[in-house]
Each structure stands twice: as C-alpha cells, then as structure tokens.
C-alpha cells in the first residue's frame, strides 16, 4: 500500500518493499525496506527519470526533508527522487539493541549484520528497481558511505545505472581498515589545528574540560559516561562545513559555579548528548569498521589500535604539558560501547564483527576498469572523513570517471552547497563541461 501526501512544492509517496535478508537465498528470510518518493508538485503527472539517493553512514536513514532544500530542489527539476532508508535504518526493518536479541546471542547477531554492508544494499536497489522504474536504469547519488555503495553498484550491477554521482565517497579499492585510519589521524590533527587557529580561546577551554573529566565521573542525562576520550570524539564535527563553529559554541559556556565548585552545566551536557548518542543510529557504530572488510583480515578494532601509533591524541599525556588537546574524528572504539547505553548491549556483537575473517570483496577492479556508466565524483580536498589520496587513486581506476576536486566545501558539501554541487556533477557526467 502506498500513501501520498503534500509538502510545500512537492508530492511525497511512502513506499515499502520486501527483500531477502540474504540475496543468495531468495526464498529465505525477508526484511522490509522503506523509501520516500519525492516529485515536484508541478511535475507529478510527468514520466520523469528516477534518481535514488544513498545516504551517508553507515547506519543512517535517508534525510527527512521538508520541501525542497539542499540538493533536492535541483534534482526535482528533472527527476523523481527516491530517498531510500538502507536496510536496518530509518523506517526499514530496524537493527538495534532492542531488536537484535531476536536473532539470538552476539554470534548470531553478528552473522545477521554481515548482510548489512554495501553489497547487500546494492542488491536491495536492484531488487526494487523494476518495481519503481519498470526495469529502466536509474541515476544514483551517493553521499559519503552512499558513495562507497555506488562504487559497489558499479562493480556488481552497472546495468542498473544510467549515471552515478558521488559526493565525498570514493573509497579505496584495496586499503585495509588500518590503512584508512593511518591516513585519517594526521588529517584529523590538521582539522583540529585549523580550529584552534580560528578560535584560539578554545585551546584552554578544551584543556579545562578534559582535565575535569579526568578527575570526575560525569554522566550525561541519558546515562552516557562522558569520558575524556568520548569528549575528544566531538571532533567529528570538524569534518562539516560549519562544524568548527558548532564546536566553538559548544565549548564556550561549559562550566557553571556550584556549591561543590565548578561543574559542567546541564545545558552543556545536554548538547554533548545530542552529538554523541548513538540511540538514533546504532548501526553506524556497530558495523562501522566492517565497511572496510574485504578479505580474510579482521578489522580488529582498527581505529583503536592505530590511535596508539599517534600518542599526541593521548589526553592525559597532553595535560601534563601545555599543548592543545587533540580532538578525534570519525572513529569508533571499544570504549564507545562501554560509554553509550544504546550500544552497551551490543558490545559482544561488535567484538564478533571485529574478529571476522570471512569478508567478501565489495569492489571489482576489473569491472570498474571496463566501466561504461557515466560517473562523476566530487572529491573534497583534505576531507576529514575520506582520504583524498585514496579517492583519487580510485578515480583513476574507474574508467571514464570525472572528478571535481574542490576545497570550497567540507565533507557535507552536498548539503551545504547542494544545488551547485549537483549541477556540477550532472554536467560532468553528461560531458557538458
């Protein structure tokens, strides 16, 4: 059953689909996918081509837009848009601390979650495409992890694509998770240095908060244990266009006077909770490193292991001197599961995924080298989330791919500069520039 309704300038239609949990067993267990169709109100009766949007993540549902913001307005000039909640996210069959125990124990839960990677998402798209387009190929717009999925799409089912557009999401075709994080920590350090250059007053503010957390047990309103490492992980904000400003405003009024001495304010803790809690997107943490699994090598909590190679991120050591505290970025650690009440029940499941040695390849270099699908990719120079050198190496490995390398935007360029970014990618894919 489909339900249509209206928002300013657009007509929305809720769509639901049933797909196999394991596409290699089409007669086995099924799960449900949810997607929202969006079309401009004045084009609702027209036979437009389709564009499917693959959200970043992993583990996030598609954007809940109101009207035609960001890139969507530009897309609606010529497409019907499908905003897909990838399996396990949004209104699709959920995978979280409440539902995963239905699978059994941690080992069974981990086995289940091996079906929530890019290859399964691509096969979901191919399963529902005939129902939506009548079998015609569609255009895919992949942001961040959605771009990783798009490269898998080009590897597994290029016949389903009319064009592929990628923003901040060209993955390495052969890097192990360790390689990804060894490249990431120096980028993160550069982003932190740029933040302190913009807001030098934040050096002392961050040190003071970190020192307080080393000396006190602090719990957020939802039960999240705010350790100094968790505080450092707020650096994930620095990968977005306005993230440095958000972090600055968060730090500026952290303390209040109390009868027992200075304490972190309720307002500060509430804001930090909004940034750090995984309650709305637990899959992001649980399957995060598995997106880099592609052979017999386990990921083995790569971000945590590799962090030890960069002692400048050790807050306790930093505070023995007078240097600036370094924030971290898009990394998930074992302690993340100890801190967050939404993740604590899934710690053993995450451990089981980190130990797996049977990952299947997600990309096909030979097929990518013979690619015939028009492909364009925005590569954000010194992107904190995705390594530029890795992205450009992959761009060279995909036949016909055209890149737009820019430092005008951060990782969220498709949000911050959506119409211009999408315009540029479409022009490149169509060989108009």
User: What's the pLDDT tens digit per position in 211-242?
Assistant: 999 999 999 999 999 999 999 999 999 999 99
User: What mean pLDDT do residues 132-156 have?
Assistant: 98
The tokens for 403 are 């890149």
CATH 3.40.50.1820 residue ranges of the chain are 3-173+363-429
DSSP 102: G
Burial class (CB in 10 A: 0-12, 13-18, 19+), 78: middle
Residue 354 predicted with pLDDT over 70: yes
CATH of domain 3-173+363-429: 3.40.50.1820
Residues in the chain: 433
Cβ–Cβ < 8 Å for 108, 78 = no
* DSSP state, residue 343: T
Which positions are catalytic? 144, 358, 411
pLDDT at site 301: 98
Q: What are residue 281's phi and psi, to 5 degrees?
A: -150, 60
Question: What pLDDT is stored for residue 3 in this prediction?
Answer: 86
Q: Cα separation of 143 and 54, whole Å? A: 6
pTM of the model: 0.97
Tokens of 335: 């302690």
In this structure, the dihedral spanned by the alpha carbons of residues 104, 107, 112 and 116, taken in order and rounded to 10 degrees, is 140
Instruction: Tell me the two tokens of residue 13.
Output: 């239609």
Residue located via tokens 């710690």: 347
Bridge partners of 407, per DSSP, are none
DSSP letter assigned to residue 63? P
Compute φ and ψ for 37, nearest 5 degrees. Answer: -80, 135
Residue 149 pLDDT > 80: yes
CA pair distance 230, 224, nearest whole angstrom: 10
CA separation for the pair 403, 375 (Å, rounded):
9
Mean pLDDT of 119-141: 98
Q: How far apart are CA 240 and CA 37, in angstroms?
A: 27
**pLDDT over threshold 70, residue 1:** no
Asked if pLDDT for residue 128 goes beyond 80, the answer is yes
Residue 377 has pLDDT above 90, yes or no: yes
Q: Which residue in this structure is represented by tokens 């798209």?
A: 125
Residue 307 contacts residue 185 (beta carbons within 8 Å): yes
Q: 326: number of CA atoms within 13 Å, CB side? A: 19
* Closest to 166 measured CA to CA, from 188, 152, 186, 147: 147
Integer Rg of the chain from CA: 22
**pLDDT reading at 391 higher than 90:** yes
The most distant pair of C-alpha atoms in the chain lies apart, rounded to whole Å, by 70
Alpha-carbon gap, residue 106 to 88, rounded angstroms? 17
- Average pLDDT of the chain, as a whole number: 97
Nearest residue to 235 (alpha-carbon basis) of 251, 211, 215, 222: 251
If you average pLDDT over residues 331-339, what whole number do you get? 98
Backbone angles phi, psi at 206, to 5 degrees: -65, -40
Give the residue-averaged pLDDT of 323-329.
97
Question: How crowded is residue 240: how many other Cβ atoms within 10 Å of its Cβ?
Answer: 20
The pLDDT value given to residue 414: 92
* pLDDT at residue number 241: 95
- Inform me whether the pLDDT recorded for 411 exceeds 90: yes
Identify whether the C-beta of residue 67 lies closer than 8 Å to the C-beta of residue 10: yes
């Amino acid at each position: 059953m489909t339900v249509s309704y209206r928002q300013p300038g657009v007509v929305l239609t809720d769509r639901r689909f049933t797909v196999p949990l394991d596409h290699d067993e089409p007669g086995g267990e099924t799960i449900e996918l949810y997607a929202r169709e969006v079309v401009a109100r004045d084009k609702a009766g027209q036979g437009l081509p389709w564009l499917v949007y693959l959200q970043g993540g992993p583990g996030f549902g598609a954007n809940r837009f109101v009207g035609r913001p960001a890139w969507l307005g530009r897309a609606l000039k010529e497409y019907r848009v499908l905003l897909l909640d990838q399996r396990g996210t949004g209104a699709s069959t959920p995978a979280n601390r409440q539902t995963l125990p239905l699978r059994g124990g941690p080992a069974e839960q981990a086995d289940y979650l091996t079906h929530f990677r890019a290859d399964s998402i691509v096969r979901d798209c191919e399963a529902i495409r005939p129902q939506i387009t009548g079998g015609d190929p569609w255009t895919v717009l992949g942001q961040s992890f959605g771009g990783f999925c798009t490269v898998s799409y080009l590897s597994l089912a290029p016949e389903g694509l009319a064009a592929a557009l990628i923003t901040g999401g060209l993955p390495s075709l052969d890097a192990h998770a360790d390689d990804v994080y060894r490249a990431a920590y120096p980028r993160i350090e550069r982003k932190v240095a740029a933040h302190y250059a913009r807001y030098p007053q934040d050096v002392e503010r961050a040190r003071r908060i970190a020192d307080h957390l080393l000396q006190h047990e602090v719990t957020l309103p939802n039960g999240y244990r705010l350790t100094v490492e968790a505080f450092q992980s707020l650096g994930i904000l620095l990968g977005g266009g306005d993230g440095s400003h958000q972090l600055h405003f968060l730090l500026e009024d952290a303390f209040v006077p109390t009868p027992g001495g200075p304490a972190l304010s309720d307002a500060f803790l509430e804001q930090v909770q909004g940034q750090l809690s995984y309650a709305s997107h637990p899959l992001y943490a649980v399957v995060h490193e598995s997106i880099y699994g592609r052979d017999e090598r386990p990921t083995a909590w790569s971000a945590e292991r590799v962090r030890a190679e960069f002692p400048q991120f050790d807050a306790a050591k930093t505070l023995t001197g007078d240097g600036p505290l370094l924030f971290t970025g898009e990394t998930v650690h074992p302690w993340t599961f100890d801190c967050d009440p939404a993740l604590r029940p899934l710690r053993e499941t995450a451990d089981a995924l980190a130990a797996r040695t049977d990952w299947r390849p997600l990309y096909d270099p030979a097929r990518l080298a013979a690619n015939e699908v028009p492909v364009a990719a925005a590569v954000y120079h010194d992107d904190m989330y995705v390594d530029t050198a890795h992205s450009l190496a992959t761009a060279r490995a995909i036949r016909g791919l055209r890149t737009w390398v820019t430092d005008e935007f951060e990782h969220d360029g498709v949000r911050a500069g959506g119409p211009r970014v999408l315009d540029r990618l479409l022009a490149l894919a169509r060989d108009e520039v």
